[in-house]
Amino acid sequence: MNDFKIPLIVVTGFLGSGKTTFIKRLLEKFSDGRRIGIIQNEYASANIDTEELRSTGKKFEILEINNGSVFCICLLANFIDSLASFVDKYKPEIIILEASGLSDPIGIAELLQHDKISEKIYLAHIWCIIDSLNYLKTGRMIDRLKRQVMISDTLIINKTDLGKDNVPDIIKEISLINPEASIEETSYCDIDIDISTGVMSDERIAFRRAEEHAIYIPSGRAEISTVVLKTSRPVSKEGLKLFLLEVEKKMIRLKGFVMLDDGKKVKIQSGFSTTSVEEISWYNGPTELIGLGYDITSAGFGRRFHEIRQFCTFKD
C-alpha cells in the first residue's frame, strides 16, 4: 500500500439509520490534530447534515454532493472530478464519505480504481449503519440496503434501545448477506472505534469480493420523490405539530430545522411515522426541511406548511 495515499472511510446505511451520528463520533475521536475531509452525499437537492456536524465544534473540510447518489451514473463523473479536486486542494489526512441512504454502492471497488483518484486515496473501511427498529420495514428499497450490507467491513446494528426484539432476526439475515463482516450492536452509534490500527491494514471486503459483485448491475436513481422546504417565516408549536402529524405518514424520511414563533429553533428527525422534535441552540438559519417519500411534491409540501402555519396564526 502506498503510504502517501489518503485513507477513505465510507459510511453507508438506510435513511435515518444514524450515519451522521456515527460520523460525529468519528469527528469527536479523530479530528484533533488531523486534517479531516468529509464528503456528504444527500439524495435531495439540499443538504442539512453539515449543520449537525458543525455543531461538534470540530475542524474539517466538507464537500457536498447532492441530488442523487455518488455511486449512480448520473453523478459519478462529477463525483470523481470533485473528489480529486477536493484532495488536491485540502490534502486531508483522512476522508469520510457519508453515502446517501438510498445509495447502491455495489460498484465501489471499480469506482476507486479510476485513474483520477486511484493514486490519491485507498479504501480504509466501510461501515454500514443498520436501524434495528426499521430494517425490516424498508419494503421496495430493501435491495439497496442489502447491497450496502454486502460491501461493508463492519455492520453496526443501531438503535437497539428501540428495536432490541428485532436484533436476532437482523443478525441472521445480514450474516447470510455478508458472512465476512464483523457485527456490532449499539445505541446512538456509541461503540469503541480505532481506525489507527488493524481497521486500515488489510484488503477490504469490497475489493476481495469485487469479482463476485460484478454480476450485479448498479441501481439507477431510486423511484422516490424528494422535497425541500426553505422559509424564513416562523410557525407556532401547534402548527408544527399539525404539519408533522399530517406529513410523517407520507415520508420515509423527514429531517431538518424549524423556526418557531417564540424565537426557538428545533431539529426534526422523522422516519417510518416516528418523529422527534428537539430544541437546539446551535442552529441560526431559517426553516429548512428535507423529505423523501412516495407521491409527494415540493409545491404541495411547502403549500401545506404555509396553510397550516397561517391557519394556526389566525386561530391565535
List of residues 6+ apart from 81 with CB closer than 8 A? 116
| pLDDT given for residue 196 in this prediction | 59
Q: Which residue has the cell 431510486?
A: 222
Domains in the chain (CATH in brackets) are 6-213 (3.40.50.300), 225-315 (3.30.1220.10)
* pLDDT under 50: residue ranges of the chain: 1-2, 197-198, 316
At 314 the pLDDT is 55
What is the 3-class SS of 170-197, one letter each residue?
Answer: HHHHHHHHCCCCEEEECCCCCCCCCCCC
Alpha helices (H) along the chain: 19-30, 49-54, 73-90, 108-111, 142-150, 160-163, 167-177, 205-208, 210-213, 237-247, 298-315
Q: What does the alpha-carbon distance between residue 23 and residue 204 come to, in Å, rounded to a whole number?
A: 20
In this predicted structure, what is the pLDDT of residue 47?
A: 86
Return the pLDDT at 44: 85
Summarised one tens digit per residue, pLDDT across range 91-147 is: 999 999 999 999 999 999 999 999 999 999 999 999 999 999 999 888 778 899 999
pTM over 0.95: no
Can you give the pLDDT at residue 195? 62
* Cell triple for 73: 451514473
Please report the pLDDT score of residue 45 as a whole number. 81
